[in-house]
Amino acid sequence: GLSGTIEQARQFINHGHIGINSHKVSVPGMLVTRSQEQNIAYMSGSPLMDSMHPMRPKVEFGAAPRPEAKPVEAKPVLAVKPAIPATAPQAQAESSQANQPKGA
């Protein structure tokens, strides 16, 4: 990217260091289309054009590529039985309680 942080990007825009199609951008909240993204650059005449400028983000050369994730084998899921099975008398008692009016 052109900056190291979001705050730094906002500052670069406010100070007139960033342009799109060589037009200075002065509004940090400007919506940028995908076709405009490739045309974002430092403005000509900006001190940030110098690649050795201390505020430019550091480029890491020779960084080791990330190791690819190993595929995980799917294990079969075992069905879990309820700890206490409902018995017929309990089920009948619960259904009779559900049929009674709330005030009773």
Question: Closest Cα partner for 12 from 48, 45, 38?
Answer: 48
Number of domains in the chain: 1
Domain that includes residue 34, residue range: 6-49
Neighbours of 17 (CB within 10 A): 23
Q: What is the percent of the chain with per-residue pLDDT over 90, rounded to a whole number?
A: 15
Indicate whether 75 belongs to any domain: no
Express each pLDDT in 52-87 by its tens digit: 777 766 666 665 666 676 676 777 767 766 666 656
Indicate whether 100 belongs to any domain: no
Indicate whether 43 belongs to any domain: yes
Indicate whether 31 belongs to any domain: yes
Mean pLDDT of the chain: 76
Cβ(9)–Cβ(3) under 8 Å?
Answer: yes
**Core vs surface per residue 53-76: b (16+ CB within 10 A) or e:** eeebeeeeeeeeeeeeeeeeeeee
Indicate whether 40 belongs to any domain: yes
Q: Name the pLDDT band for 35 (thresholds 50, 70, 90).
A: very high
The arithmetic mean of pLDDT across residues 28-45, rounded, is 90
